[in-house]
Structure 1
C-alpha cells in the first residue's frame, strides 16, 4: 500500500484552500493499496454554525427573579390582598347573616290571638255621668277654658243624660256683654272615669262629635296624675273645623316606637311616641275625612272600638250602618273585625310598662296647644282666643253625644 496526495507538496506541509464562504478546507487525502485508491478524508468538516442550522445559545438566567406565587395560596398574599379578602368576607357575612336577620326583624309582628271578653263596666242611661269625676279649673294643656264642676255644669246644662244618650257641651250663653264675660276663657267640661284600667276592650258609641273654630275635643284615656309616665291613648281627636278626619294617637315616655310592621287602614303621621319629640305630637294615625265632624255626624256617627292588651293597642272605627253584629250582641270578638283603623304593636314598645292606671276622659278644650297652634292655618277668622271669647253662637255644634260606653275584660 502506498500514500498519495493528489496535490503533492513537500512532506510535513498542509495545503488548504478557501471555499466561497471564505472558510478553509482540507485538501483530500488519499492512500493507495493494491486494489486501488482509498479516500480517507474528502471535503471540509461539518459547519456546526452555518446559517442553515443554527442552534441558539441558552438564555441567560436572571438570578434575582423569584418563581410566580399561586394566587390561591394565602401564604403568598400581600397586606393589600389580605385587606381586600377581609373586606369581601365581611360583605358576604353581612349578606348571608345580617340581611336575613334584619328582614326577620322588619317583619316581626305580635300574635293577636283571639281573647274571650266579658262585660266588666257599663256607662249608660241617666246615670252615665255618675261614673265620672269632673275636672275643675284651668286646662293643663293651656286651653282657653274654665272647666266647671258637676253642679255648675248641670246649672249651665253642659252635661245631661237620658235613657239612650249622654251629652257634654261647651257653654253658649256667655257673650261679650255678659258679667262675667268669657275674656279669660269659656266654660266647658272635662270628665274622668272613676275607674282606672290597665287593659281591656272598650266600646264607645259616639253619635255626635264636636267641631267649630277654636275647638279641641277628645275622647281619650290617661292617668292625669302620672302623665306621661303612664301613657296616653287618644281614641278620637280633632281641632277647629275638623274637616280632615279623626286622629288616633299614643303619647309615652322614651323607648316607644312605631317604625315597625303594622296592619292598619289609617295613615301614619309619626312613628315616635315619646312626648318630647315633635312638640308632643305623639305617634298618630289619621283616618278618612268622614270619620269625624260634619260628615260623621250626618251619618249618625258610629262605634269606636279600642283593644288594649300586652301585644299592642288597636282601634277600629265603624260607621253606624257597619257595626259588627257581635258588638250589637254584646259579645265582641276583635279577631273577626278585619283590619284595624290604627295599629300600635308592641314590637318596639313595651305596652304593659308604658300604659297603665288610665281613666276614660271626655272633654272639649278650646284653643290651647293644639287648636291654638294651628288656628291661623285653619281658615278661621280673627285669632283663637278673641273668637272664642266673643262668639258664643259659634259653639252650637261643639258637643259630644254618646250612646253607651262598654268595657270588656279578657277571661
Structure 2
C-alpha cells in the first residue's frame, strides 16, 4: 500500500491542508514502506526513518520550500529522461554466483589515480544552500570523513574559497566548471579553483547558452539564459586546456561518438551524463549509451576512465554500471536531499549505499570491487538491448564468472571482457 506524504499549503485561515502524494506515481520512486503520516509538514522528520536513498527525497519534499524542492526535482519538458533514468534498473538482471570466498570485502578504488573508499561520488549540484544553511560545507565534511569524492558545482551557494576551507585534512576534491561566455570570469574561476587545491575539473559541456525548459520549476521561476558559451567547439575546448594545468574531464557526453572523440583528443577520462534529465528530454540513459559504446568502440574502455550518473539510488545501480565498464558512479540529487539533515544526513546516505553494495556483492559471490570493473558476467542487459537496438547484441554473454586485470589508471579490461564473452573462464578467487 502506497504511503502518502503530507505537504503543507496555508490558506487564508492559516489551516494546513493535506495533499496526498503517491511516491511511485508522482515522484517516480518506489514505495519503501516509509510511513509519513506522523510527520509535520514543513519540518525535517526523524533521521532514523531514513533507510534508503529515496527516503531522503520524500523527507526533502516534506521539509523544503516548494520552489526549492522543485528546483532540484525538476526535469525538462515531459520529464521522460528523468523517469527513464529511474526506471532503467528494472530492466537489468544480476547474475549471482555461489561457492565463492567473500570474506575479504573491498570497496576502495582510485579515480584519476587518487584513492577513495568507494566507487561512487557526489556529483555537481548547484545551490546546496536551498536544502541546509551549511550548504556545500556539510556535504564536503561528510564526503571527506568517509573518504569519498565530492565535486561541488561552480554555481554553489558557497564560493570557491569557502568550499576549499571546509575540506577535512587530506581530503581530495575535484571541481565542476562551465564554459562561460565571459572569458574573464572563466580565467578567474580557473585560477581560484587551482589555488583552492582542487585536483581536477569536471567540465560540463552539455549546457550551451540556454537552460533546458524545466516546466516544473518554471512555475516558480523562468529558466532563461545560462550565461554559458553557445559557441563551444573543439577549438574552444582545446583553448581551455591551455588555461589550466588541472586534468580536465568533459562532463555531459551522451553519445558513443563523443566519448570516442574525447579519447582520441587525449583526455584522461570522460563523464557520461544526461544532466539528470534537466537539459534535453528523450536522450538515452547511461546504461543505453554504455551498451552502444560496447557495440561501436569497445576499445575505449581500456583507453580512458569513464564516469557516469543518472537515476542512481541503490547499491545495485552502482554495481551494474561498474560491470558495464564504468570506473566511478556519481549522484547529484541524493546528497542534496540528504542535506536537509545536514552532515548527519549525508553521512547516513553514504553508509546506506556502502552497506547495500557490500551486502549485494557478498551475496553475488564477488566482494572485491576491483573484480567488478567491466565484468559483464554479473549482468544481463538483453531486455534493454532488445528495446534500444531492436535486437540483443550479437556477442553472447557468459554465465561463468572470471577475474581479469585492472590496468593502472584504466577502467578495467572492459574491451577484453567483450572479447571473452561466450567463452568459459573459471573464477580464480
Smaller-chain TM-score bracket: under 0.3
Structure with max Cα Rg? 1
Structure with greater strand percent:
1
TM-score if structure 1 supplies the norm length?
0.24
Structure with greater helix percent:
2
TM-score if structure 2 supplies the norm length?
0.23
